[in-house]
Structure 1
Amino acid sequence: MFTEGPTVADMSSSPVTESVAAHPGGTRRAVVAWGLWDWGSAAFNAVVTTFVFTVYLTGERFGPSGEVEAQLGWALAAAGVLVAILAPVTGQRSDTSGRRKLWLAVNTYVVVALTAAMAFVAPDPSFLWLGLFLVAAGNVFFEFAGVNYNAMLSQVSTPRSIGRVSGFGWGMGYLGGIVLLLIVYLGFIQGLFGIPDVDGWPVRLAMLASAAWFGIFALPVLFAVPEYRGAGLRREKVGFFASYARLGRDIARLWRESRHTVWFLLASAVFRDGLAGVFTFGGVIAASVFGFSPGDVILFAIAANVVAGISTIAVGALDDRLGPKPVIVTALIGLLVSGMLVFLLHDGGQIVFWTAGLALCLFVGPAQSASRTFLARIIPPGREGEVFGLYATTGRAVSFLAPTLFAVFISIFGAPYFGILGIMVVLAAGLLLLLPVRARQDVLT
């Protein structure tokens, strides 16, 4: 069904891997600095968008239940459209300008500033639109930062280490989320720091702490990894709108000369949306189907990050050894088996979710990390920002799949646990789209 991943010998002569090997940033110091950005980014991923600020923003003090959730959804949908339109061109322009690290810094610290500004969102309906704007704008600039951050993977790794380095970064993100969630939950939410629970101050001050967390841990990569000076600089600089014409020509060329790269972008967009659905709706399933309390959900979230972080770091070595495609396929199969166990044994009590749910988390991180290395191994030199911009765009383009099917299955069958099947359908579709994609691909020059 699928070919074996490229060996080191297979990769050593390709233009891509020659470019990877040529970068001077692939030192232990640079790798740790690069991974610390992921560690710090948990401030936005875990605290702002998943477990704390969006939960606060959709609370009853901001408006009627159902209405505020819908408004949050529309705000994030608008952010997704902007990312889909702008990410490939901003990535392309950072490649050609030789200012990849500069734009990583600019976008990162815009996110830091927006996160800090969330401290002004008081628990009153009049502040809802401010909160929605800050979350949506933060998502846009976080995605832009992620394009440049992912593009730096080839600068801090070699052909022999790219899988381990990518896994290390993802794992650091999960582990950073654990530490920060514990600080926020115990210190701010549970009152260990003595903050009075009035006017939303525990959450609002937690946003300041989260902004500081991201700002501090984003600094090392800006000092330890040199600015990109590569093949992309040989491309003529063009205006902003002319960049779209160039992008169209590049995609057409990519389709002609490296068609499997385009197919991988499509397949990964689908299964990455399923992976996002596992974490997005995991807490909902835990509470509504298995009777978890809010405290139990947070404890499970912390345990899930531990499991995902450790497995992602550990499996990175297999990525280098076997190639990324076998890792992704195995992870998706593991997710489907674990998810079906959660569905079929839904009446078995909390022990089912603690075991099968954590088993799901074993496979999420490796699939995410190997997806990034699959693409990083085949990108033409100097085109990393542009192609990772397409990676962000394709992911956003289908980001409605998991939420839609989750809701559709619940609506049809009338029980929350049927939403699990919706997520499983998305993961299965992504797996089927991935299987024909060749692991060793033609390289576009």
Structure 2
Amino acid sequence: MPNAPAPRRTVAAWSLWDFGSNAFNTVILSFVFSVYVTGTVAADPETGQQFYANAQTIAGVLVALVAPLMGAWADRVRNRRLLLTVSTLAVVVTMAAMWFVRPEHIYLVLGVTLIALASVIAEVAGVFYNGMLHQISTPTTVGRISGTAWALGYVGGVIALVIALFGLILNGGMLGVPTEDATNARAVALLCAGWFLLFSLPIMVWGPTEVPEEARVHEPFRPLATYKEIGKRIARMWRSERSLLHFLLAAAVYRDGLSSIFSFAGVIAASSYGMDTVDVAIFGIAANVVAAGGTWVFGRLDDRVGPRPIIVGTLTAMIVFGLVIIAFDPTAVFWVFGLAIASLVGAVQSASRTLLTRIVPPQDVNETFGLYATAGRAVSFLSPFLIGVFTALGGARMGMLGIVVTLALGLAVFLPLKVAVRR
């Protein structure tokens, strides 16, 4: 990693990309537009959920196949900012195209396809984006920079969600956008596209460009040959970088549990505690706010104690808090300990990103982040499967045990890992 920090303008531009990109994750994927497509565009919710699940499954397979390939390509490119710019603009255009998804059944395929396509491109853009962390940080600032950006992502998602809900959706919306033909719901897509574009402009202008020669792969990029090289890289990790392979596997398991926390929190809140749409939205906003604060604090702690203690400590705390929610019924318990869990999710994600940044060879940064994304997709079935099993056995609130077990499995795999990070 560089010994001299990047200019503050560059770091700020990099962080603002996270601020803008989370509008897609929070508003399009989690709370608003996906609900519109599956609940309003579809003939019935069951059909909508089935089509949406199938599209997201295909998207997951594509990410698993494409992410390491795109990462290997990025490791060969001198100007990686251009790759991030092109992929970001592709996400923006795809989100803007969601405006054409009208509230008629024949538009269901278009709606789920556009969301899935944007998911794939956003994942690829994330590979390019995470790879830049190695360029702009030093061993003493990587935790702070990563944590601040991740916290800003939560803040950006919250602000975009508030504007979407109260400006366009709830009670007709304060912005006065017509509700006929679901114009207000479709306008959410334009809002998110504009939001992402606006806050991505700084990194397109001031983001890092020149990659040092020693941090680049100089072999030509041939897709089929590259897949073979990726296979050899995994074999090499098994032989001589086993701690890196160990981390990729452990992180894949517990990150699946982390993703389920936000994916299923609203469902559990509604089914187990009787929260309505407004209550769930308020809980979602509060969860993102405390997640931003927790990530910011732990990002600074990362530079002092290293990422490993943060990963172990926060995962342990989340497991305990989850068991408390399962054991006690009152809604107040869910609010208190649910928000406590939310405050730690981003801390684990950010610390995982910094740990990988600290230990990966510089010429393999993007390819490794591609493998990081692929590994996560490879076990993305685990937590939803366990949630379904425990829900069937003990009811909706017991579904929380599926998340707790996934986090515990990830922690158990992670604990034996001995890795020397660059500090």
TM bucket (normalised to shorter chain) is: over 0.9
How many angstroms apart in 2 are the aligned matches of 1:309 and 1:334? 17
Deviation track 1:295-347 (CA, whole Å, cap 9, x = no partner) reads 011111111011000110111111111110100000101110111111111x2
Alpha-carbon separation, structure 2, partners of 1:213 and 1:401: 33
Question: Which residue is 2:235 aligned to?
Answer: 252
Aligned twin of 1:399: 380
Q: Give the distance between the partners of 1:283 and 1:359, measured in 2 at CA.
A: 15
> How many residues are treated as equivalent by the alignment?
419
Counterpart contact for 1:164–1:320, Cα < 8 Å: yes
Taking the TM superposition and a 5 Å limit, the aligned residue runs for 1:26-45 are 26-45=6-25
- Distance verdict in 2 for CA 1:238–1:206, change over 3 Å: closer
CA distance in 1: counterparts of 2:286 and 2:70, whole angstroms? 36
Any idea what the Cα deviations from partners look like across 1:55-83, whole Å, max 9, x if unmatched?
Answer: 11110541222221011111001001011
Identical amino acids, percent of aligned pairs: 46
- Distance across 2 between alignment mates of 1:354 and 1:45: 22
In structure 2, what residue type is equivalent to 1:439? V
1:10-409 maps to which residues of 2 (within 5 A)? 17=1, 20-21=2-3, 26-190=6-170, 191-230=173-212, 231-345=214-328, 347-348=329-330, 350-409=331-390
Pair 1:60–1:218, CA change in 2 (3 A): closer
Give distance in 2, aligned partners of 1:404 and 1:243: 33
TM-score computed with the length of structure 1 as normaliser: 0.92
Aligned match for 1:426, one of 403, 406, 409? 406
In the alignment, is the contact (CA less than 8 A) between 2:41 and 2:107 conserved in 1? no
Unaligned 5+ segments in structure 2 are none
Checking the alignment, whether the CA contact within 8 Å between 2:10 and 2:208 is kept in structure 1 is no
- Between the aligned partners of 2:23 and 2:298, the Cα distance in structure 1 is 25
> Which residue in 1 is equivalent to 2:397?
417
- Residue by residue over 1:242-288, the C-alpha shift from the partner in whole angstroms, topping out at 9 and shown as x without a partner, is 11111111221122111010010000000000000111000011111
CA distance, structure 2, for counterparts of residue 228 and residue 380 of structure 1:
18
In 2, Cα distance between equivalents of 1:21 and 1:109: 32
- Which TM-score applies when normalising by structure 2? 0.97
> 1-side partners of 2:333 and 2:276: how far apart?
16
Q: Which runs of 4+ in 1 moved over 3 A?
A: none
Asked if the contact 2:75/2:217 (under 8 Å) is kept, the reply is no
Q: How much has 1:21 moved relative to structure 2?
A: 2.4
Distance 1:61 1:370 in 2: 39
SS class of match (2:76): helix
What are the ranges of 5 or more consecutive residues in structure 1 without an aligned counterpart? 1-16
CA contact (8 A) 1:269 1:395 kept: yes
Distance (whole Å) between structure 1 residues aligned to residue 366 and residue 3 of structure 2: 18
Q: Which amino acid aligns with 1:402?
A: S
AA of the residue aligned to 1:241: L
- The equivalent residue for 1:6 is none
Aligned residue for 2:353, secondary structure, equals: helix
The whole-number CA distance in structure 1 between the counterparts of 2:7 and 2:421 is 27
- CA deviation map 1:187-221 (0-9, x unaligned): 11131011122211111111111101001101111
Matched to 2:396, the amino acid is P
What is the Cα deviation at residue 233 of structure 1?
3.2
